[in-house]
Amino acid sequence: MTKRLLIILAVMCASIGAMAQIDRPKLVVGIVVDQMRWDYLYYYYEDYGPDGIKRLLNEGYSCENTMINYVPTVTAIGHTSLYTGSVPYFHGIAGNGFMIDGKRVSSTDDNSVEGVGTDSKAGMNSPRNLLATTIGDELKQALDFECKVFGVAIKPRAAILPAGHSADAAYWWDSEVGHFVTSTYYMDRLPNWVEKFNRKYNTEPKHDLNTSNEGVTYTFRMAEAILDNEKLGRGKYTDMLCVSVSSTDAIGHTYSTRGRENYEVYMQLDKELAHFFKELDKQVGYGNYLLFLSADHGGAHNPNFMKEHNQPAGGWDASAARKAMNNAIADECGVPGAIKAIYDYRVYLDYDKIDSVGADPEQVKKVALDVLYREKDLALAVDYEKIQQASIPEFLRERLINGYHRGRSGDIVVMTQPGYLAFKVKSDYKGTSHSAWNPYDSHIPLVFMGWHVPHGSTTKPTRIVDAAPTVCAMLHIQMPNACVGDAITFDVPSSNLN
């Protein structure tokens, strides 16, 4: 009787212990498709195969009304905001390039590190300019740093910023050497399996992988190699893999949103997604991984294409505007070359030059704004520090403030008219760009699939910053430390639950 009782007690204790375990997936996978407009889910739908984007939509949960809640809408900010649940005001990644201490830097520039697998400057990157934590950082904290987190992309910023500060590694492509590299922020030498991978997939130096469908393929092959060699999702703890597809952006910039090149890269993406999903099913197990797919921003239709169809579009000549502002400021304030730069819709003043002649920065900004107010291709021009007093729509005011980081974002922000790009558009221009608040730049896909995700969709408003808290809530871990987003509830018809 005593032996039987002990067996019963042991079974009960085991059951209680099992119930006490927190239910988590084996692996979290984030996929960001650079410059993927939301409507690409459906524009190419009929030509997608059954196992890629169609599988994502047919099995997953799609947030159909996901908007970016800041400007400018660019790559570095988009990747950061997806994984931090935050905005530039807090996470500090103010653009692809921005100012720190008066000097322009790229979002992941770090002169204190060296390249691993390369001697070129392309290796000198890290997440140190990022001021907030990511999903991966919080997962590391929650699991006492026992889990693994990796990032991979062609662009360094797209590999580094999603993976966060505590990542085991981020790998990106260096065209100078024609293979994947990392930096001493993560390690002193490439693992043997990465060197083996690089020997197999090496290209000639200077080969442009960005504007090639090969870039999509190489990214997913490397992601699958990380999955396999690092045994992600096969240990005691939940791991994370952050994958970004960069070639879609370069091809969009070069060839715009329509035409053969854009079609072909999305067909390649669909094919590679199908292969990747099957690898996840095989290596981690169907239903054992939580996956989300989104974009860092969208892209405008080519202005010449728009005008051919009698729709308003064009380009604001930022270079001419900068020259006009500098001339006016020199005449009225006595400061030559006061406008240091214009990029990502922001105007940067050169305070060293302004201070050298004892001019008033506020007067310099006023003169610059007077010039910008006369630019017919601009919808607005605002002093960042006086946004609250400006006569602009409230939703746009919020996005402008969210996108501002003092000391990094410049002094004046401008927005072009709908359909207008921030540079002079010539009659033979075939490409496109992004950065604006408009839906073509800010309406992005956000689809969840896999572990504990029901099939369904919603048109309720969601935001780019809602992805991170949703994943963290599902994992039962704290959201990133600058998160301003809200966890999404997967509302589905009762018929879908049967």
CB 294 within 8 A of CB 467: yes
Asked if 75 is an active-site residue, the reply is: yes
d(CA 153, CA 148): 17
In sequence order, what E strands does 69-165 have? 97-100, 103-106, 115-116, 149-152
**Half-sphere exposure of residue 200, counting CA atoms within 13 Å on the CB side?**
10
Distances 69 to 54, 398, 437, 484 between C-alpha atoms, Å: 27, 8, 8, 11
- d(C-alpha 267, C-alpha 49), whole Å: 9
What's the start-to-end Cα distance of the chain, in Å? 44
79 token code pair: 């990747």
**Amino acid letter at 473?**
A
| Cα–Cα dist 63/443, whole Å | 11
Q: What are phi and psi of 329, to 5 degrees?
A: -70, -40
In this structure, what are the phi and psi dihedrals at residue 447, rounded to the nearest 5 degrees? -125, 130
- Choosing from 2, 66, 73, 75, which is the catalytic residue? 75
Separation CA 430–CA 255 (nearest Å): 6
Which DSSP state fits 86? -
| Ranges assigned E (strand) in 158-219 | 169-174, 179-183
Beta-bridge mates of residue 150: 169, 241
* Torsion of the alpha carbons at 477, 483, 485 and 490, rounded to the nearest 10: -10
Q: Of 281, 293, 376, 371, which Cα lies nearest the Cα of 331?
A: 371
Catalytic positions, please? Answer: 75
